[in-house]
Amino acid sequence: MKIKNILGREVYDSQGFPTLACDIFLENNRYVTSIVPAGTSTGLFEACELRDGGERLMGKGVKKAIKIIETKIAPLFVGEEIDAVEMDRKLLELDPSEQKNVLGGNTMIAVSMALFKAHAKSLDLELYDFIARVLDNPTISLPVPLINVINGGAHGDARLPIQEFLLIPHGVENFTQAMQVSAEVFHVLKGLLEKQGRSTALGAEGGFMPTFENIEQPFDLIMEAVTAAGYSKDMFGIGVDVAATQFYDDKKKTYSWFGENKTAEQMIDVYASLSDKYPLLLIEDGLAEQDWDNWTLMMEQLGTSVYLIADDLVVSNIYHVAKAVKKSAANGIIIKPNQVGTISQIFESVMLCKEYDLNMVASHRSRDSEDTFIADLAVGIGAQFIKTGGLMRSERLSKYNRLLFIEELQSLIDLEEL
């Protein structure tokens, strides 16, 4: 099926800022749309965003990116038979720079995601299925959701240094049940916050953002919610995205933690004692992106019992992921397509993860949209986990709801095959 047209569009993300959409029109009146998410706590080595600058829309407009899509990228592909892998390779040739300073990472990922959607559509395949086929991934399984319940750091209350508290349902039969038990706990947690006179306002990713005086309080509250919802404590784990780069002082090499300056060793001790006291299963960005050697130390001390996930440290980029492998710095990574700029590069990192048994956490961004690409990507690549926010705000729920549909679809397919 041939591409008839490729257009860029300015739309708005979940925080009301402009972002880039890309529409690919195929023959037979088929079309697809992708929408680029954006981060608030971004890693230093992420692909850059091309924004217009100037007065309009606080300088965040994307008209320059639209122009690049329509004048530089579209002419290469319009009239051609859709081939996502090959076209993505050509796209990368247009700007092979690590941080996509020529075309902009947002420009490239908008087109890249749309190419994969369009190719899947041309074959009448679901996107996750198409991705699984491209990667020769024979088994379709759904990721475990990491449900954002409390937001701190750059996403919420400034007094809580940890950016995200994540509820991890395990010991459940399937994704559908994982969502059900998590939704029950989420609502009980809301009730507990109200009872304690704490705020139930939502943070950037659809979790609550009350104020806490110490690090134990949010852990206690989550465990209380689990029990009050009628579940045993061993049905849930807790994950945290510390996003530690945000409170790291690169000169002093210390972390600002509830009014104290802590060394990396002391931070690791904090995590060790939290994991003794609570079912702390996963720590993302427990240390800063510059603090490589201490990541290795953290792995030595906690890596056998806790998922130590690198986000800002590796920015989904194969070069940094390879460094993490070499230094034994993490046992898992975050997968965020807009951190690198093309889906092919995400696939390179995925292959490396598979080779070295690194866990993968497919992830949304704090400024996201109704685009559910990340849900299909998580299934297609076989990610162990997905992180797509709390259970309020539809830009977060749309991903969970897409995964519920995929689970339903897969069970129908399995039945047919019986």
For the bound state, the minimum distance from the C-beta of residue 176 to Zn ion, rounded and expressed in Å, comes to: 26
Query: Which residues 302-321 are close enough to bind ligand PGA by CB under 6 A?
Result: 311
Total residues in contact with ligand PGA, by rule CB under 6 A: 11
CA distance 203 to 229: 23
Strands of 327-376, DSSP E? 332-335, 359-363
Catalytic residue among 100, 117, 121, 336: 336
Q: Which residues contact 137 (CB under 8 A, 6 or more apart)?
A: 131, 380, 381, 382
336 in catalytic set: yes
210 and 157 Cβ atoms separated by less than 8 Å: yes
Side chain identity at residue 320, one-letter code: H
Q: What backbone torsions phi and psi does residue 346 show, to the nearest 5 degrees?
A: -60, -45
417 in catalytic set: no
Q: Does 39 bind ligand PGA (CB under 6 A)?
A: yes
Position with the least CB separation from Zn ion: 311
Q: Does 46 bind Zn ion (CB under 5 A)?
A: no
For 153, the 3-state DSSP assignment is: helix
For the bound state, the minimum distance from the C-beta of residue 408 to ligand PGA, rounded and expressed in Å, comes to: 28
Side chain identity at residue 221, one-letter code: L
Angstrom distances, CA of residue 186 to CA of 224, 302, 381, 389: 11, 28, 28, 12
- Lookup: tokens for 279: 């079912």
Which partner from the list Zn ion, ligand PGA, none does 189 bind, CB cut-off 5 to 8 Å by kind? none
Question: Which residue, 42 or 342, is less far from ligand PGA as judged by CB?
Answer: 42
Q: Does 157 bind ligand PGA (CB under 6 A)?
A: no
Q: Which of 137, 245, 317, 366 binds ligand PGA (CB under 6 A)?
A: 366
For 396, the 3-state DSSP assignment is: helix
Closest to 218 measured CA to CA, from 242, 182, 243: 242
CA distance 103 to 107: 6
Query: Which residues 230-249 are close enough to bind ligand PGA by CB under 6 A?
Result: 241, 243
Strands of 78-124, DSSP E? none
For the bound state, the minimum distance from the C-beta of residue 50 to ligand PGA, rounded and expressed in Å, comes to: 18
Pairing, β 236-241 against β 164-169: antiparallel
Q: Does 368 bind Zn ion (CB under 5 A)?
A: no
Question: Which residue, 116 or 385, is less far from Zn ion as judged by CB?
Answer: 385
Question: Which residue, 40 or 296, is less far from ligand PGA as judged by CB?
Answer: 40
CA distance 166 to 163: 10
Which partner from the list Zn ion, ligand PGA, none does 40 bind, CB cut-off 5 to 8 Å by kind? ligand PGA
For the bound state, the minimum distance from the C-beta of residue 285 to ligand PGA, rounded and expressed in Å, comes to: 7
Strands of 71-225, DSSP E? 144-151, 164-169
Q: Which of 33, 34, 41, 331 binds ligand PGA (CB under 6 A)?
A: 41
Closest to 143 measured CA to CA, from 311, 353, 363: 363
Q: Does 147 bind ligand PGA (CB under 6 A)?
A: no
Q: Does 311 bind Zn ion (CB under 5 A)?
A: yes
- Lookup: tokens for 176: 């559908």
Which partner from the list Zn ion, ligand PGA, none does 51 bind, CB cut-off 5 to 8 Å by kind? none
Q: Which of 5, 12, 17, 40 binds ligand PGA (CB under 6 A)?
A: 40
For the bound state, the minimum distance from the C-beta of residue 309 to ligand PGA, rounded and expressed in Å, comes to: 9
Q: Which of 13, 88, 241, 289 binds Zn ion (CB under 5 A)?
A: 241
Q: Supply the residues annotated as catalytic.
A: 205, 336
Interface ranges with ligand PGA (CB under 6 A): 39-42, 241, 243, 311, 334, 363, 365-366
Interface ranges with Zn ion (CB under 5 A): 241, 311
